[in-house]
Amino acid sequence: MATKTHAGNFFEDFATGQVFRHAIPRTITEGDLALYIALTGDRRPLHCSAEFARSLGFPRETAHDLLVFHIVFGRAVPDVSLNSPANLGYADVRFLRPVIPGDTLRAETEVVGRRETSRRDVGIVWVRTQGFNQRDEPVLQFYRWAMVNKRDPDTSTSASDAPELPSQVAVEDLVVPPELDLSRFDPVATGGHAYWEDYEPGERILHPQGMTLEEAEHQLATRLYQNTARVHLNQHLQKSSRLGRRIVYGGHIISLAHALSYDGLENALRILAFNAGAHSNPTFAGDTLYAWTDVLERIDLGRPDVGALRLRLVAVKDLDPNQEPIELKVRDEESGREQYHPNVVLDLDYTVLMPKQR
């Protein structure tokens, strides 16, 4: 008798050009927005103040861009990365439309490449995922690549068609919400005093706070996103893994680092894009996160009221960069190759929308 359950796809099950229409559409609720704040400490008023959101032209408070990302990401996990020991990176991530409570999100994914690795038990799969609202309008699109377990480590598929992905989202592809009206923007609501013109390329912002990851919180966050990847949820299984314990969902690390980055970037209104990103080392419950931001580029969008900042958000565990300098990358003594410092857990190149001075 055929089984009625699905154990997820292994590396051998993927084919370039394959398309998945993912199950479990998800209606975003006010409860989701409140729980996201409880799990991350995010303080951006656009996502918690209906009055502030209306003052900027939106019908009400909007779902945090990263909450939308995680919900769409979570739709794809059962088909793409249920058997993945690690998500490796992102490219060309575009936030296309605001999402408000009551919107329903669904997702589709296309496989765009595969590659065998030096490890016999895993391969790498590249995919492009799109999220849509109930009107079939795209709200998000992104590429990501993940390490995926092989069903048969002793058999090679000879797969080797890794795609070339853009290093940056083009300026013309950055989407400013058409309803955005900054004529009534009130910096008292954000607590911020720095505008687009005040940020200089090459500037580093050391964010002052740290946040310790709790086991219950990262588990609850992963379930909020309906991310079913075993590596995050199943300690019984992970005891026999290479790391010996559950790792924290990398997207949740992005959310926590982004929440920490509020101090110094209070007026940033919206994430426009991820240009590139890497989860450089695993994170576990009990680790304490700190973050800094490097200003990479100031981008003029051709509007008098708002511009964009390209930023590099770096998260580190168990080292406070305010107290002890830390190099992003170090040279491995054995191989001589440059690699991420073992305490660096996130390196995210992303672009935000920032008001100009009036």
Q: Is the dihedral of CA 352, 65, 252, 17 positive or negative?
A: negative
Instruction: Please check the confidence at residue 213 and state whether its pLDDT lies above 80.
Output: yes
Q: Which domains does the chain have, with CATH numbers?
A: 14-151+228-247 (3.10.129.10), 194-213+253-358 (3.10.129.10)
Distance CA 32, CA 28 (A): 6
CA distances from 202 to 126, 208, 254, 314, 349 (A): 32, 19, 22, 14, 14
Q: Is 169 helix (H, G, I), strand (E, B) or coil?
A: coil
> DSSP letters of 53-120?
HHHTT-SSPPPPHHHHHHHHHHHHHHHHTTT-SEEEEEEEEEE-S---TT-EEEEEEEEEEEEE-SST
Q: Given this model, what pLDDT does residue 333 score?
A: 80
Q: What is the pLDDT of residue 86?
A: 83
**Band (4; pLDDT cuts 50, 70, 90):** confident
Has residue 2 got a pLDDT over 80? Answer: no
Yes or no: say if 353 and 176 are a contact pair by the CB < 8 Å rule. Answer: yes
Q: Tell me the per-residue pLDDT of 324-348, one tens digit each, with 9 for 90 and over.
A: 989 999 988 877 889 999 999 999 9
CA distance 243 to 254: 21
Nearest C-alpha neighbor of 190 from the set 263, 122, 243: 263
Q: What is the pLDDT of residues 41-84, one digit of tens each?
A: 999 999 999 999 999 999 999 999 999 999 999 999 999 998 88
Smallest Cα–Cα separation from 260: which of 207, 199, 319, 317?
A: 207
Q: Which amino acid is at 250?
A: G
Region 15-37: mean pLDDT is 97
Please list the residues that pair with 314 across neighbouring strands.
292, 347
pLDDT tens column, 82-121: 888 888 889 999 999 999 999 999 999 999 999 999 898 9
Q: Binning pLDDT at 50, 70 and 90, where does residue 198 land? A: very high
CA terminus-to-terminus distance, the chain: 70
pLDDT confidence of residue 309: 98
Residue 107 · residue 96 · CB < 8 Å: no
Confidence grade of residue 287 (pLDDT, cut at 50, 70, 90): very high
Average pLDDT over residues 118-138: 96
Confidence of residue 239 (pLDDT cuts 50, 70, 90): very high
> What pLDDT, on the 0 to 100 scale, is given for residue 303?
95
Residue 270 has pLDDT above 90, yes or no: yes
Predicted confidence at residue 127, as pLDDT, reads 97
Instruction: For residues 165-172, give the mean pLDDT.
Output: 94
In the predicted model, what is the mean pLDDT of residues 262-291? 96
Compute the 3-state secondary structure of the chain and give helix, strand, coil in percent, each to the nearest 5. 20, 30, 50
Q: Quick one: tokens of 33?
A: 């927005």
| Stated length of the chain | 358
Over 90: is that where the pLDDT of 3 sits?
no
Confidence class for position 1, pLDDT limits 50, 70, 90: low
| pLDDT for res 262 | 98
